[in-house]
Amino acid sequence: MADSTVNYSFGGGRTSNVFKDTTALPASFGEGKVALRGSFDLEDSQFAYALTASVRRLARYRFADERTVGLETGFTRELAEGVRLTLKGSIEQRRDGDIFLALPGLLIGYRKADVVASASADLTVDHAGGKSHVTAALSNLNRGLAEFTLPGLPRTQLEAGYRLATLTAGHILPLFGGELGATVEARTNNIPSNEQQVFERFPATTLRGSLAYGHAFGPVTLMAEAGLMRVASDALGTSVEPTRPYLKAELAVRLPRETVLKATFLRDIQLADIDDPLGEDVRTIGLSLETALTEKLKLALGYEEARSDWLYYDYRTRTRSAKAAFTYTFAKSTAVTLEYSRLLRHETDPAADFTVDGLAARLSGTF
């Protein structure tokens, strides 16, 4: 049996700080996204795929237009009774731009194309009343050469790429009406040797062990996980504490009128997509509320705060963001959304603080 759907979203809006930095340059934008997703069965296995494309065009700063094209695949097979193998892979090309230099009367921007590829294999075994799993994952980012808006500047690479490898093993078993889980995870972020000193990015490894318990009490669902994590790197300073707590908690409460209240907390060490050359100890809290005001009108509110302690530099950041969105459903598969967002960034250096306000309207649907 085969099944496929197309999801689309088109819209536009305006932001007070399009580059999310201290330049605080406002701009209007238009955006569009489309995705073809499907799956089909193959005897004792299933294959799933997704083709995605998106574009974001800026009215004034065309060098910062964003375009992405991606492919995702997944394969699941029952190897034996209670034994399941899942393979996943993806590749995505990202074309975007940013500011290289901003001076009074002079703005130099650039465009580049990055390629992100990932693959994972997961083996799950049901035994002894519980479930064990082992997952190996690899993610690779290749940085493209920047092309500057100022004629005469040569194409050059501005940031380092990386290869992040993760190995996770765990076991879950029922306990007191809920589930108890134990997890061990190792992550290694490799930076090409010829890019480490040039772009000041260094490899690091983390090791984590944790215990988790989840339970549903009627309309309330609670999950809590706690453990220890340790970071290792030749570039880690002797004054930096290598062992830190790992914490994760999720709470969901279902209320009348299709209302769902959620609260989350996570403390983890991030090795990729960070500003520090080595890693960041990030603590994130989140609150969200979704409710139906009428049969067709829904309201979604969200708040998130992330505090980050850098591991290489003695530096800290705090990012707070809030969103409010009204969604009106015209038909079962078509809706329009009006969204307001606000982001505040505070850093150890007050001169690096910035604020972003945004307003956007989108039409989305499925067929």
Instruction: Break the chain into its structural domains and give their ranges.
Output: 165-316
Q: How confident is the model at residue 3 (pLDDT cuts 50, 70, 90)?
A: confident
Q: Is the pLDDT of residue 1 over 80?
A: no
63: its two tokens:
């060098």
Please give the pLDDT value at position 241. 95
How far, in whole angstroms, is CA 210 from its chain's centroid?
22
Q: What is the pLDDT of residues 298-322, one digit of tens each?
A: 999 999 999 999 999 999 999 999 9
Query: Do the Cβ atoms of 207 and 185 come closer than 8 Å?
Result: yes
Encoded amino acid at 265, one letter: F
How far is it, in rounded angstroms, from Cα 177 to Cα 181? 13
204: its two tokens:
């690091």
How far is it, in rounded angstroms, from Cα 162 to Cα 273? 9
Query: Do the Cβ atoms of 228 and 211 come closer than 8 Å?
Result: no
Q: What is the pLDDT of residues 81-97, one digit of tens each?
A: 889 999 999 999 999 99
First to last CA, the chain: 18
Q: How confident is the model at residue 331 (pLDDT cuts 50, 70, 90)?
A: confident
Q: Give the predicted TM-score (pTM) of the model.
A: 0.91
Helix (H, G, I), strand (E, B) or coil at 193: helix
Mean residue pLDDT of the chain comes to: 95
Q: Which of 112, 108, 203, 107 is nearest to 159 (CA)?
A: 112
Eight-class DSSP state of 234: T
Task: Quickly count helices (H) and strands (E) in the chain.
Answer: 1, 19
Token pair 């040039």 is found at 198
Q: What is the pLDDT of residues 171-216, one digit of tens each?
A: 999 999 999 999 999 999 999 999 999 999 999 999 999 999 999 9
Query: Which of 7-11, 104-108, 145-149, 184-188 is the least confident region?
Result: 104-108
